[in-house]
Amino acid sequence: MPDSNASLYRQLPSIDKLLQLSDVQALVEKSGLHWVTENLRSMQEQARECIQQQGSLPSWHDNWGAKLVQNHDAMQESALKSVFNLTGTVLHTNLGRAVMAQSAMTAVSRVMSSPVTLEYSLDGATRGHRDRPLADLLCQLTGAEDACIVNNNAAAVLLLLATLAQGRQVIVSRGELVEIGGAFRVPDVMSQAGCQLVEVGTTNRTHLRDYEHAINENTALLMKVHTSNYSIEGFTAEVDGAQLAQLGQQYQLPTAIDLGSGSMVDMGKYGLPVEPMPHTYLAQGIDLVSISGDKLLGGPQAGIILGKKKWIEAIQKHPLKRALRADKMTLAALEATLQLYLTPEKLVSELPTLRWLTRDAEEIKTRAERILVPLQAFYGDNFIVEIEQCQSQIGSGSLPVDRLPSYAITFSPLEKHGYSLAQLAEHWRQSPQPVIGRLKEGKLWLDLRCLDDEHSLLQVLLS
């Protein structure tokens, strides 16, 4: 060991000495002696490695207490940070999709802080079923005979297939074998459910006769998958719900539609592109429809299966249901969200997803004009800051072609200073409440469609 290193090792303070520091003592009061001691030992080891590898003491050697406090604060910081979603994608999968309504947040807080009647019947003091209250509400809203709730729509499809078609064939249009986020494919779900996929038709055209010709004694289910994350245009044809339901009845086979992001209301009434609703398919005679809870519905992550009572009862009895069931917090948030649909005239004001989707472009422009001047004053030496028209998207596989007119604040670098947009975006991502925009066409865009608190945004951007 070099003499210089030996001298450095001798400068490392003991644990007992470090415990006498005032800020360390304050942390002992806050987090306990065990946590503090273990982390001080870890810091000592880091210091020894620094001496061994670099021949020097660590940069924080003169202030062990401050470094320990910094480590403590970093460990206490949640990995799920609240962010400003200025990407222009309302239902952003990577940012948690739908934001909860206030009533949903209140409901979750209530069931977290007290025992609740999750599976307890007050009428008979007996065990109840956790899905029953929500199933009744869903039936009221959609006209379904019964309903089942699991933890997401992929789980709903898996459970549906495992119950109705395990070991047998499921007929699906080749043009509907979609891949959703994270390379999650419909054929893979079918395989995991123990089903045999039978593809019919072509990528762009599938006819009712294609389904009918594929039916045999091993057929268990006729299925459609709503292609919500892509669009085929031009020379196309598909089998509608009424046709599929009629064919299923003719051959005494159940029918199902994975609707994915299906909306619970007619989006056209709000001036938005129309998205298929479960009500429509159920009325056409489809036996089972599955939808997500955290997309256009505007609730928590959940999978909802709606349909005929006999099939729902079979699904509820499948062993997988227990593994895939929703917890009390999800059920509470979903119930509160669904209750908002009982008074549709209040939906826009109380459901954040619908409020942002229906926000008028001129309202967004007015907000942009309010915050433009301080941003120009703060960033004007290094960037050109402007208001520009843009197109927002719904996101999460909903209406992939349709766009919503919006406005954004854009930042373009002044070449003479050499400040990059990547550096600016990185700086904002490291803020206490990160700001997430999008880089496009040589500019950094902050689409203001989903912005409610412009004062807090300015505090972050002007710091």
Average pLDDT over residues 131-139: 95
Q: Check residue 50 and give its pLDDT.
A: 94
Q: Check residue 174 and give its pLDDT.
A: 86
pLDDT band of residue 246 (cuts 50, 70, 90) is: very high
Identity of the residue numbered 339: Q
Question: Going from the N-terminus, what domains does the chain have, and what CATH number goes with each?
Answer: 1-76 (no CATH), 84-92+356-462 (3.90.1150.180), 102-346 (3.40.640.10)
Q: Kindly state the tokens that stand for 48.
A: 């020894």
pLDDT at 423 over 60: yes
pLDDT at 190 over 90: no
pLDDT band of residue 180 (cuts 50, 70, 90) is: low
Q: Check residue 236 and give its pLDDT.
A: 67
- Nearest Cα neighbor of 248 from 189, 328, 331, 308 is 308
Q: Check residue 450 and give its pLDDT.
A: 97
Average pLDDT over residues 24-49: 94
Q: Check residue 355 and give its pLDDT.
A: 96
Q: What would the DSSP string read from start to end of 266-311?
A: -GGGGTS-----HHHHHHTT-SEEEEESSSTT-SSS-EEEEE-HHH
Q: Check residue 260 and give its pLDDT.
A: 82
Query: Of 23-37, 69-83, 96-110, 148-162, which range is least confident?
Result: 69-83
DSSP code, position 431? S
- Nearest Cα neighbor of 433 from 448, 449, 419, 453 is 453
The number of C-alpha atoms within 13 Å of 335 and in the hemisphere containing its C-beta is 20
Kindly report the backbone phi and psi dihedral angles of residue 369, in degrees, each rounded to the nearest multiple of 5, phi listed first. Answer: -65, -35
pLDDT band of residue 177 (cuts 50, 70, 90) is: confident
Rounded distance, CA 151 to CA 327, Å? Answer: 8
Q: Check residue 275 and give its pLDDT.
A: 85
Burial (0-12, 13-18, 19+ Cβ within 10 Å), 381: exposed
Burial (0-12, 13-18, 19+ Cβ within 10 Å), 266: middle
Residue 111: enclosing H or E segment and its boundaries?
helix 102-112
Q: Check residue 189 and give its pLDDT.
A: 82
pLDDT band of residue 443 (cuts 50, 70, 90) is: very high
Query: Above pLDDT 70, what percent of the chain?
Result: 94
pLDDT at 274 over 90: no
Dump pLDDT digits (tens) for 77-93.
888 899 999 999 999 99
Of the two residues 274 and 295, the one the predictor is more confident about is 295
Partners of 210 in beta bridges:
none
Average pLDDT over residues 379-394: 94
Rounded distance, CA 143 to CA 342, Å? Answer: 13
Print burial letters for 221-255: b (CB count within 10 Å at least 16), e (below 16): bbbbbbbbbeeeeeeeebbebebbbebbeeeebbb
pLDDT band of residue 434 (cuts 50, 70, 90) is: very high
Dump pLDDT digits (tens) for 285-329.
999 999 999 999 999 999 999 999 999 999 999 999 999 999 999
| Mean pLDDT over the full length of the chain | 91
Q: Check residue 1 and give its pLDDT.
A: 46
Q: Check residue 398 and give its pLDDT.
A: 63
Dump pLDDT digits (tens) for 51-107.
999 999 999 999 999 999 999 988 888 888 999 999 999 999 999 999 999 999 999
Average pLDDT over residues 351-366: 96
